Chains A and B, each alone.
Chain A
Amino acid sequence: MGELATEKHVRYILSVEKRKDNFESVVMEHLRINGAYWGLTALDLLGKLDTVDVDEVVSWLMSCLHESGGFGGNVGHDPHILYTLSAVQVLALFDKLDVIDVDKVTNYIVSLQNEDGSFSGDMWGEVDTRFSYIAICCLSILHRLEKIDVEKAVKYILSCKNMDGGFGCTPGGESHAGQIFCCVGALAITGSLDLVDKDLLGWWLCERQVKSGGLNGRPEKLPDVCYSWWVLSSLTMIDRVHWISKEKLIKFIIDCQDTENGGISDRPDDAVDVFHTFFGVAGLSLLEYPGLKPIDPAYALPVDVVNRIFFTK
């Protein structure tokens, strides 16, 4: 088996930030804050966060902040809860949470909780359990979880639980590994994992591992490196990660590297991107691959960052 091409991935991530001339990077412009979170967290896991100009990133982030307290995906774009979490996560990485008005960001998130406990993504009312996770994760990082109705939020998430033990976007929605990460993560952060059917969900999740060693996100779908994160973090949170073969999954992720130019792709020999590079590295971190910083499965931030948030006076 090959090894993780750490240096090349670092170089690749740094180059993505600069590259703005091809079609793909323009298409992704509206979610640049997500990109920053993926790239920077991957750099931190690889031990190379210090190669980044912190002030430059932070001042750009702040230019995406709206009066409402929400962040847009890039300068000029509308605020949305999706980008607000990424912004808060990046600030947490740099230990720079003091640059934002915490109450204002909190109010923005609190204003998005609906009567039934669910969360809208923004003022236009799309409801999804992804947004429940985001709200809970974000407020927890800001030490403001008590500002929302946690009990109702948990109840809504449970209303999205399916016969296979997994969770969907809304009640009745099909289980999907990404959605399961969101729901299990939200339940983990609110101390409610006793409400998860761990053995049933664990079986569904471990059956995501296909012959090649990779993980898919739903039954009878192709494996994809991003599920190394969604499936693995969920299995880790419910303590069932030993139900898959770690060796085979490590091999699959390593096989998806571009050993020439750096970066990790969804499947071997596909085009790389920063999203899959992050999820590949994060997956390897959960698999305790040597040389990587450990990542927290619920907050999707390095463990030392989470510990700094909760165990520092």
Chain B
Amino acid sequence: MHGRPRKALKPEDEAASSAKAEKLRSLQAQFLANHHNHIYSKEALELSAKLLEINPECYTAWNYRKLAVQHVLSNSDSDPHSIFNDELKLVESALRKNFKSYGAWHHRKWVLSKGHSSIDNEMRLLNGFQKADPRNFHAWNHRRFVAGLMERSEEDELKYTEEVIGANFSNYSAWHNRSVLLSNLLKRKAEGYFPKEKVLEEEFQHVHNAIFTDPDDQSGWFYHLWLIDQTVKNDAPLLVSSWPSHGSNITLIGDNGLRGCGLSLLNGTLSDTGALPIILYFNQAVKGINSSSVAIKSELLKEELVWKPLSMNNSNTAQVWVVYLNLGNMELQQSKTYSVEINVGHSSGILSANGNHYGDPSQISFEVFVETTCTKPTEGQVGKRTTWDDTNFQKIDHFQELDSIATANQNHHIPKSSDWCIEQIVKEITNFRDLLSEYDCKIGKLTLARLLTALDMLSSPLDGKKSNTEEVLQLYIDLMKLDPTHPVYYKDEHSLILLKQITSTRDSLLPYCYYHKDATETFTGHVCLRLQNLSLSRMGSIENLLWVQMLDLSHNELQSIEGLEAMQLLSCLNLSHNKFGSLTALGPLRSLKSLKVLNISYNELGSHSIDTRRYLCSSPVAHTEEFTWDRIEILTGSFNAANFWEAFLIFGSLALTELNITGNAVADENFRSFLVKVLPTLKWLDEEELS
């Protein structure tokens, strides 16, 4: 019941309601009897019509009407035109009673699809309904259906939205319909809609009327954002970054070939498996990455490579793809440089989810050098535990050759944007600055922040223009105050921009990079990226962090690490003192085969009744994971398997040697003993050495 006031009925109203109820009950009973006995007499039909006029929601009665029509039509002397006309009249009067009745609208559609009725009346009827309620989505759906039947052109329907918006700009339904029609016209390059530049310019003008007239009315907000997206977006998939990056030198430090010795630079992955990962990071999810669409030329290549999509749901489409060069079994010559050349997209096959072909064939070349000196292995040794205290870190003055750091400006070039595109964004920036100078509003600030971010993205870092990140960060800080209902939305955006700023160049990254010393005060050779204590509520810019092996994200406000699965080199991760609320939030870690050390202490694991990552993590409830009874039963023994499923899922596929999970509600004795069983590789749990 919607919009009916809560008050006790007066006795006389109560009696009237009872009488009405009695009448309706008897109508329904008679109708059902007719329906069940297949009675389609004139009286029976009138009775069903009466029922539908009182209660258009009674779906069975609409079904009965359809059966009756079919029955009557089977009489050879019937006049289909008049029979269907009666149905249309009945629907019309039912809709006057309740124009949100799904059953009535569908009945109308069913009648019209039979092709015996004139559709001329439909637009008149719709105009009436749309005047009475310009947002009725049933009427809009019906309008699209009728326009199709009448073969009305998309151009004409676009004009109709213009009329509706002209009468009152505050009509989200009309803006929506406009976006549908316009994207069809643009897509098929209809006459007058190609090239898109002029069309989009006009649309910007159009939606300004709405936003600038009443900036607090949301009707034009999403349309404007869609126009920005239409202006800057690149449909074709592109390579954003890779590891190793183009032009880089990878030094492997080995002894006795490569086996049996820790490789300090690529500690986790290489020392255990002898496999060198190659990571490709695209601007959107792609499929079709294989040895023919990505050609690798190198002496190091001895066997056919199988590219793996890093997706959370076993999909064959992913933004990040990885392959492992197996070096473990190779007789590598020391002090020799091996070159690797990767050609991406020179032959077709790489497609976006929408079916767009890879846009910009590119080449990544890097060199692998095997050095003879052996540094002794440091990680995972008995008696030593990774500590994250400040005293274990030493600031870096400048990067050395060996520090294989790759930041945004070394990553892949973004194709030059058209001048029009940049000009249009600059024009919008001016427009929104003007708006803000007159009226301090959230959509003005938010749009300005988005436009400035888009402009930074379009401008090449090489052309020397100052980036707008400082201003954007300030805008998001202002927005948190201006719109206290959604502070975390702006905080998340702030975090993303901050990370973009930090990872943009080697210079910007340097203050966050440290050399790590282990418990015995020995430098491990690891560069640790310390992004702790930055109030980050969201992780981002992972495309610039593919080189990171040791990452400290402690003392932030993170509750998810979406995207971290791309960091295939990661071996030590500190997530302590954040807001992780469920084990499923750690899902991305399952793809990190090199991860050895995880600190997840002092979070909110086990403190929440609702798991917001339940469907973003591979799981039986989402049909992306089978429930493996045998293994979990052996592991849980007397424990309830369902309670340990998430822990089994996450930790069962990791090979951690150190785990710290103190300070979480979930970590009771039962849970800890389960962890020891599910992680046979574990040497340290919390701060205790396992025997």
Contact = CB atoms under 8 A, between A and B. Distances in A.
Interface of A: 21-27, 29-31, 72-73, 76-78, 80, 122, 124-126, 128, 140, 145, 162-164, 168-170, 172-176, 188-195, 200, 202-204, 206-207, 209, 211, 218-221, 224, 236-239, 241-245, 248, 258, 265-267, 269-273, 275-276, 285-286, 288, 294-299, 303, 306-308, 310-313
Contacts of B110: 124-125
Contact of B21 (A23, A266, A267, A286): A23
Majority-rule SS of A interface residues: loop
Interface in B496-514: none
Across the A-B interface, the 5 shortest Cβ-Cβ residue pairs: A311-B642, A191-B624, A188-B615, A294-B609, A219-B218
Interface stretch (B134-142, B241-249, B334-342): B134-142
B140 A174 contact: yes
A140 B66 contact: no
Given A237-B615, A297-B614, 11 more contacts: A126-B109, A174-B177, A190-B622, A192-B313, A204-B222, A219-B218, A237-B614, A245-B486, A269-B6, A299-B621, A311-B641
A191 B485 contact: no
Interface stretch (B55-63, B275-283, B297-305, B454-462): B55-63
A124 to B, nearest CB: 6
Interface in B314-330: 314-315, 317
B81 interface: no
Nearest to B560: A239
A312 B6 contact: no
B610 A286 contact: yes
B17 A23 contact: yes
Given A191-B624, A195-B353, A273-B1, A176 B486 contact: no
Given A125-B110, A219-B219, A27 B57 contact: yes
Contacts of A307: 642
A124 B63 contact: yes
B1 A172 contact: no
B218 A269 contact: no
A290 to B, nearest CB: 9
Interface string B26-41: 0010001001100000
21 contacts: A25-B21, A26-B25, A76-B60, A78-B59, A174-B173, A175-B176, A189-B622, A191-B618, A192-B315, A193-B616, A207-B218, A207-B221, A244-B486, A245-B484, A245-B486, A266-B1, A270-B3, A303-B609, A306-B621, A308-B642, A312-B642
B170 interface: yes
Contacts of B4: 270-271
Contacts of A23: 17-18, 20-21, 24
Contacts of A209: 485-486
Contact of B1 (A207, A239, A271, A306): A271
Nearest to B484: A245
Contact of A311 (B137, B223, B353, B645): B645
B613 A239 contact: yes
A288 B218 contact: no
Nearest to A77: B60
Contacts of A168: 137, 141
A170 B18 contact: no
B28 A162 contact: no
Contacts of A169: 137, 141
A80 B59 contact: yes
A27 B20 CA distance: 10
B312 to A, nearest CB: 7
A219 B102 CA distance: 22
B615 A298 contact: yes
A34 to B, nearest CB: 11
A258 B1 CA distance: 14
Contacts of B177: 172, 174
B189 interface: no
Contacts, number: 225
B5 A270 contact: yes
A76 B137 contact: no
Given A164-B176, A170-B141, A218 B135 contact: yes
B6 A162 contact: no
Contacts of A174: 137, 140, 172-173, 176-177
B264 to A, nearest CB: 36
A218 B21 contact: no
> Chain A CB within 10 Å — which of B32, B353, B610 has the most?
B610
A194 B615 contact: no
B179 interface: yes
Contacts of B486: 206-207, 209, 243-245
A236 B612 contact: yes
Contacts of A176: 137
Interface in B562-601: 562
Contact of A203 (B285, B485, B489, B629): B489
Contacts of A220: 135, 170, 172, 217-219
B316 to A, nearest CB: 11
A294 B110 CA distance: 42
Nearest to A287: B610
B623 interface: yes
B615 A297 contact: yes
A298 B488 CA distance: 24
B603 interface: no
B621 A310 contact: yes
Nearest to A248: B485
Nearest to A123: B63
A77 B59 contact: yes
A242 B488 contact: yes
B183 interface: yes
A245 B486 CA distance: 6
Given A76-B32, A169-B141, A22 B21 contact: yes
Contacts of A170: 141
Contact of B36 (A30, A76, A245): A76
A126 B138 CA distance: 13
A80 B612 CA distance: 32
B375 to A, nearest CB: 40
B620 A311 contact: yes
Contact of B57 (A30, A122, A126): A30
Contact of A313 (B28, B624, B629): B629
Contacts of A297: 610, 614-615
> Chain B CB within 10 Å — which of A189, A209, A307 has the most?
A307
B420 interface: no
B6 A265 contact: yes
Nearest to B28: A29
A271 B17 CA distance: 15
Contacts of B176: 162-164, 174-175
Interface string B209-224: 0000000011101110
B299 to A, nearest CB: 37
Contact of B59 (A30, A188, A224): A30
Nearest to A313: B629
Given A30-B57, A78-B59, A243 B488 contact: yes
A281 to B, nearest CB: 14
B357 interface: no
Contacts of A173: 137, 140-141, 144
A295 B102 CA distance: 28
Contact of A30 (B21, B25, B60, B562): B60
A244 B492 CA distance: 13
> Chain A CB within 10 Å — which of B137, B226, B484, B613 has the most?
B137
Nearest to B179: A163
